């Protein structure tokens, strides 16, 4: 008898969490599992990559509000969402003033929106053997989906997030299991929430080398200039460190390496600030924002070096994807970097600074031997890990194992 699983995600816009989900769905055992997919908002270039075996649940209007503006909510006459948004904004702003948050009140506002919305949004009527909350918002899945067991996934370095930890702990405590993508992510999470140690299950991001290689051949070759080409993939945000990348490229041009071109695939709220920085350093022809690409793999395949200049990450999906495509990678020395790259073996870890990034690129630029040695090491490594899904299957309870009803938290 097949087990029934529900997986939730907010949308399928281009991002590491979303691409990791697509890779997982590509590798799922559909012979023994029925998989329903709850996408809160049916938008994003990855919607077309959902495998045919997956049952995509219909979109519900109330589920789509989390990333809509107040103006949008008002125009749709979703008054409850407007009230939740305004109240969350007031509470988050007060928290930001009190704690002097570096990244502003955004994350705390999201927490309150998720929590307050969970009181009025209804979940599917069906009961599942296992529900997987693959990403925010977790509250709705926790309180409005019926399941024998519930699992939530952590994808980032929690020691770096500026959030309301007391509120966050209440949410995580309600899940039966918490899946972590790496030991480093587990350590950072437990540094905040040591009482949740027994709930942690380490399940790495599922990668499908065959799928990634196939996608890298799916489009015409991108028109790169005949220069030294760098590619980075990720949302345009402060966290991803693209401001340091611009400064690094300026430094490299100052060293005479003016034939370097840096291409960034992604979008986000940091775009205008980044464009202003590019213009200030007169790098419009060299640091190129390509915007959204549903399939970044042909671009990665054609680059000389893949660079991830982030300030922090959990375990970046794009780094593994670049390694699968045989590309030398450079990542900054954020707290979890050692869990993803063996420095000098399958990539290079540089200082988390513009100078550190510039020095690492300079070395790669000058030495074809170093690049070829890294590429050779990558070719000897097997990146397929669909076996990780067996850890997930083992969490599914037997038919007679009923989940106890829990009261709503206050």
What superfamily would CATH give domain 210-379?
A: Glycogen Phosphorylase B; (3.40.50.2000)
Residue 49 vs residue 97, higher pLDDT: 49
Under the banding of pLDDT at 50, 70 and 90, the label for residue 326 is very high
Tell me 321's DSSP state. Answer: H
Of 198, 206, 278, 184, which is closest to residue 236 (Cα–Cα)? Answer: 278
Is the torsion defined by CA of 329, 330, 331, 333 positive or negative?
Answer: positive
Distances (CA, A) of 87 to 70, 83, 105, 109, 407: 12, 6, 13, 9, 24
Tell me 88's DSSP state. Answer: H
Under the banding of pLDDT at 50, 70 and 90, the label for residue 408 is very low
> So where are the chain's domains?
3-206+386-393, 210-379
Predicted structure pTM score: 0.77
pLDDT at 323 over 90: yes
Note the pLDDT tens digit of each residue in 356-390. Answer: 999 999 999 999 999 999 999 998 888 888 888 99
Under the banding of pLDDT at 50, 70 and 90, the label for residue 279 is very high
Residue pair 324/375 in contact (Cβ under 8 Å)? The answer is no
| Token digits of residue 106 | 């955004």
pLDDT score of 404? 46
Note the pLDDT tens digit of each residue in 57-95. Answer: 999 887 777 777 778 878 878 778 788 778 877 877 776
Q: What angle do CA 279, 264, 66 make, to 5 degrees?
A: 100
pLDDT score of 113? 82
62-76, 120-134, 174-188: the lowest-pLDDT one: 62-76
Contacts 24+ apart (CB under 8 A), 194-199: 195/169, 196/169, 196/172, 199/172, 199/175
197-211, 215-229, 268-282, 372-386: the lowest-pLDDT one: 215-229
Residue 109 vs residue 288, higher pLDDT: 288
Under the banding of pLDDT at 50, 70 and 90, the label for residue 181 is confident
Which CATH number applies to 3-206+386-393?
3.40.50
Tell me 122's DSSP state. Answer: -
Under the banding of pLDDT at 50, 70 and 90, the label for residue 407 is very low
Residue 259 vs residue 316, higher pLDDT: 259
Residue pair 161/107 in contact (Cβ under 8 Å)? The answer is yes
Under the banding of pLDDT at 50, 70 and 90, the label for residue 405 is very low
Determine the Cα–Cα distance for residues 43 and 301; give it in Å rounded to an integer.
Answer: 27
Q: Do domains 3-206+386-393 and 210-379 have the same CATH topology?
A: yes
Under the banding of pLDDT at 50, 70 and 90, the label for residue 7 is very high
């Amino acid at each position: 008898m097949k087990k029934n699983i529900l997986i939730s995600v907010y949308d399928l816009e281009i991002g590491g969490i979303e691409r990791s989900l697509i890779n997982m769905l590509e590798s799922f055992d559909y012979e023994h599992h029925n998989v329903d997919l709850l996408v809160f908002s049916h938008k994003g270039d990855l919607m077309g990559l959902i495998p045919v075996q997956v049952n995509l649940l219909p979109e519900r209007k109330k589920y789509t509000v989390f990333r809509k503006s107040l103006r949008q909510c008002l125009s749709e006459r979703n008054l409850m969402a407007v009230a939740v948004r305004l109240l969350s904004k007031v509470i988050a702003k007060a928290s930001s003033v009190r704690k002097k948050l570096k990244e502003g009140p955004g994350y705390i506002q999201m927490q309150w929106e998720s929590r307050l919305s969970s009181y009025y949004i209804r979940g599917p009527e069906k009961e599942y053997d296992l529900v997987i909350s693959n990403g925010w918002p977790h509250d709705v899945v926790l309180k409005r989906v019926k399941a024998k067991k519930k699992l939530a996934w952590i994808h980032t370095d929690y020691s770096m997030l500026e959030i309301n930890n007391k509120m966050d702990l209440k949410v995580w405590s309600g899940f039966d299991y918490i899946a972590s993508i790496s030991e480093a992510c587990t350590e950072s999470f437990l540094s905040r929430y040591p009482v949740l140690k027994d709930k942690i299950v380490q399940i790495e991001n599922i990668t499908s080398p065959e799928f990634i290689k196939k996608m890298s051949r799916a489009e015409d070759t991108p028109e790169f200039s005949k220069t030294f080409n760098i590619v980075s993939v990720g949302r345009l945000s402060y966290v991803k460190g693209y401001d340091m990348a611009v400064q690094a490229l300026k430094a490299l041009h100052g060293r005479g390496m003016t034939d370097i071109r840096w291409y960034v695939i992604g979008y986000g709220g940091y775009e205008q600030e980044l464009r202003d920085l590019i213009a200030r350093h007169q790098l419009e022809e060299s640091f190129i924002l390509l915007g959204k690409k549903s399939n970044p793999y042909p671009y990665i395949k054609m680059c000389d070096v893949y660079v991830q200049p982030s300030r922090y990450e959990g375990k970046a999906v794009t780094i593994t994807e670049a390694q699968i495509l045989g590309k030398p990678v450079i990542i900054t020395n954020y707290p979890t970097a050692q869990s993803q790259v063996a420095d000098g073996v399958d990539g290079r870890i540089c200082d988390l600074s513009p100078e550190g990034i510039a020095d690492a690129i300079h070395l790669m630029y000058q030495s074809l031997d170093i690049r070829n040695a890294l590429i050779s090491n990558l070719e000897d490594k097997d990146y397929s890990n669909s076996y990780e899904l067996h850890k997930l299957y083992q969490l599914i309870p037997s038919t007679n194992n009923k989940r106890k009803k829990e009261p709503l938290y206050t």
